[in-house]
Copies of this chain bind each other. A is one copy, B any other.
Amino acid sequence: MPQNLAGPEEGLAMHALATELFPICRSITGDGVRQTFDILKRYCPNLETFSLKSGEPVLDWTIPDEWNIRSARLIGPSGEVICDFADHNLHVVGYSEPVDRVLSLEELQPHLHSLPDQPDAIPYVTSYYRRYWGFCIPHSKRAMLQPGSYRAVIDSTLAPGELIYGEAKIPGESEEEIFVSTYICHPSMANNELSGPMVTTWLARWIASAPRRYSYRIVFVPETIGSIAYISRNLAEMKKRIVAGFNVSCVGDDRVYSYLPSRDGNTLADRAAKHVLAHIDPDYIRYRYLDRGSDERQYCSPGVDLPVASVMRSKYGRYPEYHTSLDDLTLVTPAGLQGGLDALKRCIECIEGNLRYKVTVLGEPQLGRRGLYPTMSTKGSAAGVRSMMNFIAYADGTRDLLDVAEIIGTPAWELLDFARKLVEHGLMEAVD
């Protein structure tokens, strides 16, 4: 596995690519998604795209028509532009059907969306499965609208087409896989969602940069319908191979760390996530599976039962800017993205190294004659030796690395360093 976790320049690079992708109008289908994949393929190793036709049944659902939008404007009684899709793609309700109508303010109201509590924000609204059209505007602007004739123009198409998803497979020594899923269906929003594909892409680059024990299955799907479609095509293989998985969402701001378990709650992915976050940020927020809201809803559903947990910064639905125009690239920062990436790297490092270790001698080994015991004890060295002695004391071949690391309160990645040293001296062996 790659060793170098530090990389502040990764945060900068992720932020830069997010800036390029931000204005594209993504949805669960359409040209915005194609355009996004064209760009992502330049960065993410082995990324390929696949498509399903509108009308194709997937599990309990059906692939919807493809939506594309070229322009949209809402024009006021005096001909003034109330909002223009060209200014911000959140101004149009996602999957709005085409319209060109003149309406009174009263008739228009059911097609307007705003947030009284966040009067300057444009809300994010979609209507994928009920035909509808609408505009989203700041509440401060809506409150000023005068009675009169409004013209609503949306130049969109809703027609049979395809749903596209991306998949990057990175093979390892074993056919067993670590699964990473992120989603790619939200227009101009940064924490939810661009942070997800950014961190996933850079995670893939890091994984591919060195040999690895596990194979990796990394997917970029439109949320819900995309994960359902992916499962419907790949379930048997996924159930056979995946030993741990992460849904990568909301990993870009720099306020908190949080964790949402798989339904099982104690899979390898959960154990790694809880261990890593406890050492990175002991105050990280522990959500329950009852707080779920992203593609774990599909991956962990009965009969699918995949070991998929979420490591996040500020969780969807729990930060004020969520699903508004305020979720932008000032909220998401290079440091925030780097923190999200580093946490996931640590999780993968823990899973890759999660073997059962066994000491090769009975009783405590005599570390002194091997130069493994400090002759002069200083405060730091003593703590290090103590951690190594604790590792040795619990290395009985019955507990895996994460278990031992939890018991002795030392990060698993520090134990991996001890393990290398002790294996070199013939004092320890991996028994998996």
The distance from the CB of A382 to the nearest CB of chain B, in whole angstroms, is: 12
Given A393-B289, A393-B297, also A364-B60 (CB < 8 A): yes
A304-B362 in contact (CB<8A): yes
Q: Could you show 6 A-B contacts with beta carbons less than 8 Å apart?
A: A231-B363, A263-B394, A300-B393, A301-B359, A301-B393, A305-B396
The distance from the CB of A340 to the nearest CB of chain B, in whole angstroms, is: 26
| Contact of A75 with B by CB under 8 A | no
Given A298-B363, A302-B358, A363-B228, also A290-B130 (CB < 8 A): no
Q: How many angstroms between the C-alpha atoms of A231 and B292 in the bound complex?
A: 50
Given A290-B408, A358-B302, A408-B290, also A366-B396 (CB < 8 A): no
| Contact of A395 with B by CB under 8 A | yes
A59-B363 in contact (CB<8A): yes
B-side contacts of A303, CB under 8 Å = 359, 362, 396
Residues of A within 8 A of B (CB): 59-61, 129-130, 224, 227-228, 231-232, 235, 263, 289-290, 292, 297-298, 300-305, 358-359, 361-366, 368-369, 375, 390, 392-397, 407-409
The distance from the CB of A332 to the nearest CB of chain B, in whole angstroms, is: 28
B396-A290 in contact (CB<8A): no
A365-B302 in contact (CB<8A): no
Question: Contacts A129-B369, A231-B363, A305-B396 given; 12 further ones with Cβ under 8 A?
Answer: A59-B363, A60-B361, A129-B368, A130-B375, A228-B363, A290-B407, A300-B393, A301-B359, A301-B364, A302-B395, A303-B362, A304-B362
B-side contacts of A304, CB under 8 Å = 362-363
The distance from the CB of A166 to the nearest CB of chain B, in whole angstroms, is: 20
The distance from the CB of A149 to the nearest CB of chain B, in whole angstroms, is: 27
The distance from the CB of A319 to the nearest CB of chain B, in whole angstroms, is: 20
Residue of B nearest to A373 (CB): B129
B-side contacts of A290, CB under 8 Å = 390, 407-409
Residue of B nearest to A427 (CB): B60
A362-B130 in contact (CB<8A): no
The distance from the CB of A42 to the nearest CB of chain B, in whole angstroms, is: 32
B129-A59 in contact (CB<8A): no
Q: How many angstroms between the C-alpha atoms of A303 and B235 in the bound complex?
A: 42
Q: How many angstroms between the C-alpha atoms of A116 and B431 in the bound complex?
A: 48
The distance from the CB of A265 to the nearest CB of chain B, in whole angstroms, is: 10
| Cβ contact of A302, chosen from B231, B393, B409, cutoff 8 A | B393
A60-B366 in contact (CB<8A): yes
B-side contacts of A397, CB under 8 Å = 302
